[in-house]
Structure 1
Amino acid sequence: MIITTDEQLDKLKAIGRICAMAREAMATAMRPGMTTLELDEIGAKFLAGYGAVSAPVLTYDFPGATCISVNEEIAHGIPGNRVLAAGDLVNIDVSAELDGVFADCGASYILGKADKRLENLCRDGKKAMWAGINAVKAGGALADIGTAIGKVAKKGGYTLIRNLASHGVGASLHDEPGEIPTWPDRSERRKIQNGLVFTIEPFLSMGGQMAEQMYDDDEWTLTAEPLAPTVQYEHTVVATPRGAVVVTLAG
C-alpha cells in the first residue's frame, strides 16, 4: 500500500492502534496456568469490540484470532490447550483489518522472571527492531533496514532467522513490495517509495538460522533451526522523507 491521502493514513493509524492495544491487553492479562486459547480469546474479543477482523482468519482461515508462539515456537503458533508457565517466552502477534485497511504488530514477552540471557535477548530484539525502523527513509535503500538490524545482531553475538522477513501491508496482510529482508542482503537493490506501508519485524535468535515446521499435524507453527530461543518484535510503519511513521503504537 502506498499512502497518498490523509484519509488512508487515518484509517491505517486507526487499525494500527487497535492491533497494538489488543496485543498489550493480551500481554497484561497473561498468567501462568492460562492456556494459549484463553489468551487468544482476549485478543479476539478486543478486536471484535472495535469492529476489527482478525487478518490471519480473514486471509488464511487461520485457526485463531492471533498467533501465539511459546518457547521453541517462534512464529504462527496456533492458540490451543498449551498451558503457559512461569518463565515462558511468549510471542504475541496481532494483525487485523478495519475499513479495508490492514496493520500488523508483534512482541515477545517473558512470563514472570526468566534466565538473564532471555531478558537480554528481549532487550536486544527491541533494539534490532528500532534500528531497522530508524533506517527507514523515503528514497533510501530497503537494504539499509537489514544492514542496521545486522549490526545489532553482530554486536550482541546473535543470529537472525533468514526466511521470515518483513513485508508490505495495508491493502492486504501481505502486500507489495513483497518480502523485505531483516538481515544484511547485498542482493537487495530496491528503493523505499514515499508513503510505502510495511512491517519491520526481525527475528533475533541465540543460534537459529532458519524457520521450519516441526509438527507433523500442524502446518502453521514454526520453530528455529537449529532450535534456539528466538524473539520477534514488529511494528507497521509508513515511509516518509523524514523517516518512518510508526502506526502500531498503543498510546
Structure 2
Amino acid sequence: MIIETEDELLKLKEIGRICANAIQIMSASLEPGITTQELDDIGRRVLESAGARSAPEFCYQFPGATCISVNEEIAHGIPGSRVIRPGDLVNIDVSAEKDGFFSDTGASFVVPPSKSKLDKLCRDGKRALWVGLNQVKSGEPLAKIGQAIGAFAAKNRYTLVANLASHGVGRSLHEEPGELSTWPDPSEKRIMTDGLVFTVEPFLSLGATWAEGGDDAWTLYADPQAPTVQYEHTVVATRNGPMILTLADGQT
C-alpha cells in the first residue's frame, strides 16, 4: 500500500510494534527444552493481549500463530512438539493484523552454546538486512535493494535464497507491488513511491540458493541443505530514507 494519511501511518506503526514485541518476548524465552508449540503460545498471547490477530492463521489457515523454523527448516515452520536443543538455529517470523492493517517481521537466533560459524551467519544476516534497508528511499529503483544485498553476500562468500522474496504489505499481508527481489534482479525496473509500504527480508545462507517444500503444505527447506538465516523489517519508503515500522518498545 501507499500511505496517504497520518492515521494510516499510526495504525501501521502500532501493528508493527506489536509484531516486534512478540519476536522480542519469544526470543527471550528461547532456551533448550522449550517446544516450538510453547514458543508459539507465547507469541499468540502477545498478539492477542494487544488486540491483534495472527496474519498467517487469519489469512491462510496456517496451523499456528507464528512461523518457527529450526535448523534445516528455513521458512514457514509449523509449531509443534519439536524440542529446542543447544546449538539450534531458530527463525521466528511474526506477522499480524489489527484494525485492518498488517505488518511482518522476522529474525534468526542461535540457542547457546552455539557454533561460531552460526553466530557469524546471524551477525552477517542482520548486516545484510541493513545493507538492503539503507537503499530504501522514495524515487530510487527497487532494484538497488537486491543489488546491494547481492554485493554484500558475494563479498562475504554467502549465497542468497532466490525464491523467497520481500513483498508489499499494509492493507493485506501480501499485496502490491507484489514480490520484491532481495538478490540482484535485472528484470526489476520499478521505482519506490513515496509512502510505499513493504518488507525487506534477505535469506542469507552458507550455501543454499533455493527453498524447497517438504512433507507438509507449509515448511520450506534449504536446497542445497545449508544453514540459512532470515531477518525482516516492514518499512515505508520516504524522501529521507526508510521508516522502519517493526520496532519493539524501547527500540529506535
8 Å CA contact 1:125–1:203 kept in 2: the answer is yes
Secondary structure of the structure 2 residue equivalent to 1:82 = coil
Partner of 2:138: 138
Secondary structure of the structure 2 residue equivalent to 1:132 = helix
Partner of 1:246: 244
Offset of residue 58 of structure 1: 0.8
Partner of 2:117: 117
Letter in 2 for 1:160: L
Letter in 2 for 1:177: P
Offset of residue 132 of structure 1: 0.5
Offset of residue 181 of structure 1: 0.1
Partner of 2:190: 190
Offset of residue 152 of structure 1: 1.2
Partner of 1:17: 17
Distance in 2 of aligned mates of 1:237 and 1:89: 26
Structure 2-normalised TM-score?
Answer: 0.98
Letter in 2 for 1:12: L
Q: 2:221 aligns with which of 223, 226, 229?
A: 223
Offset of residue 165 of structure 1: 0.2
Distance in 1 of aligned mates of 2:17 and 2:70: 24
Distance in 2 of aligned mates of 1:116 and 1:136: 31
Partner of 1:2: 2
Offset of residue 113 of structure 1: 2.1
Secondary structure of the structure 2 residue equivalent to 1:126 = helix
Partner of 2:62: 62
Offset of residue 36 of structure 1: 0.2
Partner of 1:236: 234
Distance in 1 of aligned mates of 2:243 and 2:169: 14
Distance in 1 of aligned mates of 2:148 and 2:239: 18
Offset of residue 155 of structure 1: 1.3
Deviations 1:166-197 (A, max 9, x none): 00000100010000000011111011111000
Partner of 2:211: 211
Distance in 1 of aligned mates of 2:244 and 2:56: 21
Partner of 1:168: 168
Partner of 1:36: 36
- Greater shift, 147-156 or 40-49, is seen at 147-156
Deviations 1:114-169 (A, max 9, x none): 11111110000000000110001101000000011111101110000000000000
Secondary structure of the structure 1 residue equivalent to 2:80 = coil
Distance in 1 of aligned mates of 2:27 and 2:152: 25
State the identity as a percent.
63
Secondary structure of the structure 1 residue equivalent to 2:138 = coil
Letter in 1 for 2:25: A
Distance in 2 of aligned mates of 1:113 and 1:20: 25
Secondary structure of the structure 2 residue equivalent to 1:90 = strand
Offset of residue 49 of structure 1: 0.2
Please list every run of 5 or more consecutive structure 1 residues that lacks an aligned counterpart in the other structure: none
Offset of residue 108 of structure 1: 0.1
Deviations 1:34-88 (A, max 9, x none): 1100000000011000000000011100000000000000000000000000110
Offset of residue 30 of structure 1: 1.2
Letter in 1 for 2:229: V
Distance in 2 of aligned mates of 1:65 and 1:192: 31
8 Å CA contact 1:124–1:152 kept in 2: the answer is no
Partner of 1:89: 89
8 Å CA contact 1:35–1:81 kept in 2: the answer is yes
Distance in 1 of aligned mates of 2:104 and 2:134: 18
